[in-house]
Amino acid sequence: MAIDKAGVRERRRHRGDNRVTIEDVAKQAGVAPITVSRALNTPEKVSARLRERIDQAVETLGYVPNLIAGGLASAGTRVIPVVVPSLSILTFIEVIHGIQQTLEAAGYQVLLGSSDFDLDREAALLDSVLGYSPSGVILTGLRHHESTVRRLKAWGRPVVEIMELGDASIDMNVGVDNAEVGACMALHLLERGYRRIAFLGTGMVRDYRARERYEGHREALAAAGVESELLFQQDEPSSYEVGRQLFLEALEARPDLEAMHFANDNLAAGAILEANRRGMRVPEDIAIGGYLGLSLGEHLTPRLTTVTVPRFEMGVEAAKLLLARLKGRSPALPRVDIGYELTVREST
C-alpha cells in the first residue's frame, strides 16, 4: 500500500534533476541519511569509522549538499544580505570588501543589495531578502522605515547597522559619529588660522550622513564665533569632476575664500587636481580638506589633509559582531565606534 521507500522508482517525480542527494550517499555508505547529515555538519557527533565511509561516499558520488533544502529544514541559510545605498560609492565598496572577506572565511555568503538611498526600496529589498531565511543582516545607517525596524526587531536574528553611530540601533551598530568628524576638520581649519571657510558637498539631499558632517562643521565654526560658513551642493554623486566644478564655482562666488572643507576625498581630489592645472597654490591660495582617507590623497601635490575612517576595518568589525552573535556569544559591546583620525598633510 505504502510507497516503496527503499526503491528508486517513485523518486524524482517533480523534475528530472538528477543531482546526487543525501539519500544516495547514505545508501552508498550503508547508513541513514541523518547520519550523513551529521557527518557533514557536526562530524564530532559521528564515529570515525562511519565518518570515513561517508566521506568516501561523498567523494565518489560527487555529492554537493542542497543548501536550499537544508535551509528549509533548519529554518536558516548561511547567507547574509548586505544592503548599502549605492555601489558606485567607493566607501561602501570598501566596507563590503571587509564584510565579504570576513564572512566568507567563516562560511557565509554575502547577498548584495542596493537601496539607492531610498528607504522604500530598502524596505522592499529587506522583505524580499528575508525570504531567504538569512542568518543575519547588515544594513546601512540608523534611519529606516518604521516597518523595517519593527520587522527586524521581531525577526530576532543578528542585525548590524553600519556607517554611523547612535543609541537607537535595531540590534548592533558599528560606525563613526559623522558630526564629530565634520567638527574635527572644521576645528583643524580654524586652528590653522583660516576664517573664511566653506563646506562643499553634493548629493546631500539624499545622503544625510554628509549632512551630519556639515552640521558638525557648522556648529564648530559657530562655537568659535566664525560667521560665514556656506554650503554649495548639487544632487549628483561625488566625483572628481563634481569636485572640480564645486571648486571653480566656489572660487567665483567667494573669491576671498581661504579654505574649503569638502564632504569627501573624491571631491577634494578633484579640487586639488584642478588647482594643479591652473597653477594655483594649495594651501597658500586656498586650503583644501577632505574626508575618508582615500589613498589617492597622499599622492597628490600637495598631499591631502583629510579625516581618515577605517572603512575596510568597519566592514570586518561588523562581520565579526554578526559572527559572534551567531556563535551564541552575545558581544559585550553591541556598539563599536570605529573611530577616525585627522590626517594632517600639506593641503591645509
Partner DNA sequence: CTGTTAGCGCCTTCAG
Partner DNA sequence: CTGAAGGCGCTAACAG
Query: Is position 10 an interface residue for DNA (rule: CB under 7 A)?
Result: yes
Handedness of CA 327, 331, 335, 337 (dihedral sign): negative
Return the bridge partners of 342, or none: 307
Chain CA centroid to CA 77, Å: 20
**What CA–CA distance (Å, rounded) separates 245 from 236?**
12
> What does 194-263 look like in DSSP terms, one character per residue?
--SEEEE-SSTTT-HHHHHHHHHHHHHHHHTT---EEEE--SS---HHHHHHHHHHHHHH-TT--EEEES
Query: Is position 112 an interface residue for DNA (rule: CB under 7 A)?
Result: no
The entry of DNA, a second copy, none near residue 173 (CB within 5 to 8 angstroms by kind) is none
User: Which residues ranging from 39 to 68 are in contact with DNA (CB under 7 A)?
Assistant: 40-41, 44-47, 49-50, 63, 65-66
**What CA–CA distance (Å, rounded) separates 89 from 75?**
34
Annotate each residue in 197-236 with x if it binds DNA (CB under 7 A) or - if it does not, as one string. ----------------------------------------
With b for 16 or more beta-carbon neighbours within 10 A and e for fewer, the 170-182 pattern comes to bbbbbbbbbbbbb
Query: Is position 100 an interface residue for a second copy (rule: CB under 8 A)?
Result: yes
Query: Is position 325 an interface residue for a second copy (rule: CB under 8 A)?
Result: no
Query: Is position 101 an interface residue for a second copy (rule: CB under 8 A)?
Result: yes
Q: How far is the CB of 242 from a second copy (least distance, A)?
A: 11
* CB-count burial class (<10 Å; 0-12, 13-18, 19+) for 225: exposed
Residue 32 or 69 having the CB closest to a second copy: 69
Query: Is position 106 an interface residue for a second copy (rule: CB under 8 A)?
Result: no
Q: How far is the CB of 115 from DNA (least distance, A)?
A: 24
E strand or H helix at 179: helix 178-191
Query: Is position 333 an interface residue for a second copy (rule: CB under 8 A)?
Result: no
CA dihedral 120, 125, 130, 136 (to 10 degrees): -90
Q: How far is the CB of 61 from DNA (least distance, A)?
A: 11
Instruction: Please give the residue ranges that form the binding site for a second copy (CB under 8 A).
Output: 14-15, 17, 64-73, 75, 77, 79, 81, 87-88, 93, 96-97, 100-101, 104, 109-114, 127-133, 239-241, 244, 269-270, 273-274, 276-277, 295-296, 299-301
Residues that bind DNA (CB under 7 A): 3, 10-15, 17, 19, 21-23, 31-35, 37-38, 40-41, 44-47, 49-50, 63, 65-66, 69-70, 72-75
